[in-house]
Structure 1
Amino acid sequence: MPRPDHTRALHAALITAARGLPVIPLSRSKLPAVRSPHRDELRATACRGECGRPGHGVHDATSDPARIRALFAVAPWATGYGIACGQAPLHLVGVDLDVKHGTDGVGALRALAASHGFDVPPTVTVVTPSGGRHLWFTAPGPVPNSAGRLAPGIDIRGAGGYVVGPGSRTVAGHYHLAPGSAGNPLAEAPPALLHLAAPPPAPPRTDEQDHPRHPAEKRAAALVRFVLDSRAGERNGRLFWAACRAYDAGFGDALAPALVTAAVHTGLSEREAAATVASAGRLRAAVEP
């Protein structure tokens, strides 16, 4: 017999999907509940669902009720669900306002809106177990993930990321709709907020960049791309592997900021990404003669 938390999560996921938002089941740890079909393969795979089997994280997300029930059926341990961000046609943007560890994301967003002259419209709002808030907005197109870049306590969940849906239960507790929020339509994200969330422009090319790059530079760029291609559930592992290879090649310290930035774009927090890269550096130092 299905457990009550599993049944409640499935019911809530179906209600959310009826708004046109694609969902996936989550475990109590907030990670995708359906295990990867490639987990026992010796070599890493770039499959994002092309194999036709479930277990590809946010790439499994769907708003089709039959497919949602099928995903929950193969993960009876699921106690929550995630809502994929950045997918057409709504291109959901989740603004995650943290209020723990001395941060005040709610106040930070209020200050950001005042300093940049925009209003935060009423929209669907989810209360997190720590007392934080998730604000749901729509956008004209995909928005990148970021953590703390707009201000401490403000994370953006965009393309390739997801937010935990109301009705979910995690290790930390329950997620639920804020009072009076259930009837709100999904508001359009303020253009000024989207502008702030956009990635910084790439630096202009120099004459040196028009010449063939050194092999080490190509290797460094490949490691950054490797991190950027991470999917949910493998981001920390890929980041650690890339950082270890960078330290092995002798440019770990130089590449560390770029690796951290790339990891933040995949959805990791800056603190977590920096700690992972630092661990790789300590490991390398420990094995040096």
Structure 2
Amino acid sequence: MPHDPRPALLSAALTAAEHGWHVHPLRPGAKGSALHGERSCPRTGECAGGHRKWEQRATTDPDRIRRAWTAGAFNVGIATGPAGLLVVDLDVPKDGSDAPCGATSFKALCERAGVSWPVTYTVRTPSAGLHLYFQAPAGIRLPSTTKTVAPNIDTRAWGGNIVAAGSTTAQGTYETVNDGPAIALPDWLLHQLSTRPEPPQQLAALRIPGRATRRAEAALDREVATVRAAREGERHRLLLTRTIAMGRFVVWGDIPRAVVEEAFGAVGESVGLPAAECAATIRDALAYSARTCRPRETA
């Protein structure tokens, strides 16, 4: 008789909720949310007043958790922002990269700060990476980051999702290796995460000689400045539209795509947008430009 993984996954979800960590179902054997997206939103139940994203629907309610995890063999996701967590994701290099692994980079950061490796709740991933759980400081809304702390180190806070212990993918199972409490985020790491990256005032450090035209460079300076000056509530929209506007220069070969991605990624994070949101928005914007951009001679 086939093994039924649902009891173990339900137990993992309830265990996380007992810690006060808001959980939501992930697709069976995968890491993406199993909850409906905006396009397929029925506008009923929790979404009766408008679509609510997975982060808003994550819960610690044991009754809701039991109903969800008895309906399917869902992996367990933790919405780190509502859970009051900041999780440091120490990844391993992929595709034969010679970059240091996340654990090596994090150890170097600890040594630079003059502290030992923090003893906190820790999960080993199927790819041999580590997730270090910390309690986020009250009253500070830290965004998630992607490789801005150091090579192969991401952080998951607001806007972020982390796969909980007990979840399983084709690579293996997420396993708890330190079941102690999640300690408070160390001050040295809080300071590093609270220091937003400088938005590019000028792009000299990003430019590749002979690869960007003056017109494209001037346009990028202008569009980045528009995002930097955006008011709260307009930042995501402007990041999307100004990146679309720059996309034509990428299509025409006037500026390298990587330069545009780095400039908009830095300014997006500097105004408080989560790194993952910035990366997805920039990717979508440039893909849209590639589909719709007119030839230079007709533009």
TM-score normalised by the chain length of structure 2: 0.69
Residue 111 of structure 1 is matched in structure 2 by 108
How much identity, in percent, do the aligned residues show? 29
Distance in structure 2 (CA, Å) of the matches to 1:94 and 1:149? 14
Q: Which residue of 2 aligns with 1:8?
A: 8
Residue 204 of structure 2 aligns with which residue? none
Compute the displacement of 1:255 (Å): 6.3
Deviation at 1:16, TM superposition (A): 1.3
Once residues 216 and 269 of structure 1 are traced to their aligned partners in structure 2, the CA distance between those partners, rounded to angstroms, is 17
In 1: Cα distance, 2:232 partner to 2:246 partner: 10
Task: Give the residue type in structure 1 aligned to 2:118.
Answer: P
For residues 246-277 of structure 1, the C-alpha deviation after alignment (integer angstroms, 9 at most, x for no partner) is 53699997964454343794352988777656
Contact 1:247–1:284 at 8 Å: present in 2 too?
Answer: no
Kindly indicate whether the alpha-carbon contact (under 8 Å) linking 1:127 and 1:134 is maintained by their aligned counterparts in 2: yes
Q: CA deviation at 1:188?
A: 1.1
Q: How does 1:247-258 map to 2 (within 5 A)?
A: 247=247, 256-258=261-263
Are 1:124 and 2:127 counterparts?
no
Match of 2:76 among 81, 86, 99: 81
RMSD of aligned residue pairs (Cα, Å): 4.4
Relative to structure 1, is the Cα distance of residues 199 and 148 closer, same or farther in structure 2, using a 3 angstrom cutoff?
same
What SS does the corresponding residue of 2:276 show, helix, strand or coil? coil
- The residue number in structure 2 matching 1:268 is 276
Report the count of equivalent residues: 260
Instruction: Output the CA distance in 1 between the equivalents of 2:229 and 2:2.
Output: 47
1:96 corresponds to which of 82, 89, 96: 89
**CA distance in structure 2 between the aligned counterparts of 1:258 and 1:92, rounded to whole angstroms:** 29
Give the secondary structure class of the aligned counterpart of 1:177. Answer: strand
Question: d(CA) in 1 for partners of 2:115 and 2:147?
Answer: 19
For residues 12 and 57 of structure 1, what CA distance do their matches in structure 2 show? 18
C-alpha distance in structure 1 between counterparts of 2:56 and 2:236, whole Å: 16
- Contact 1:119 1:190 (C-alpha < 8 Å) held by counterparts: no
Distance 2:79 2:55 in 1: 6
Change (3 A) 1:146 1:73: same
SS in 2 for 1:268: helix
Change (3 A) 1:256 1:222: farther
Structure-2 change in CA distance of 1:19 and 1:40 (3 Å)? closer
SS of the equivalent of 1:82 reads: strand
Q: Match of 1:157?
A: 156
Report whether the alignment pairs 1:195 with 2:191: yes
Distance 1:137 1:228, change over 3 A: farther
Contact 1:126 1:175 in 2 (8 A): yes
Alignment partner of 1:137 is 2:138: no
Secondary structure at the counterpart of residue 189 of structure 2: helix
Deviations 1:19-73 (A, max 9, x none): 111111111331111223x4247xxx9x9x5536997212111111012123335
The answer for unaligned runs of 5 or more in structure 1 is 204-213, 230-237
The whole-number CA distance in structure 1 between the counterparts of 2:224 and 2:109 is: 40
Name the counterpart of 2:210: none
User: 1:135 deviation in Å?
Assistant: 0.3
Structure-1 residue corresponding to 2:31: 30
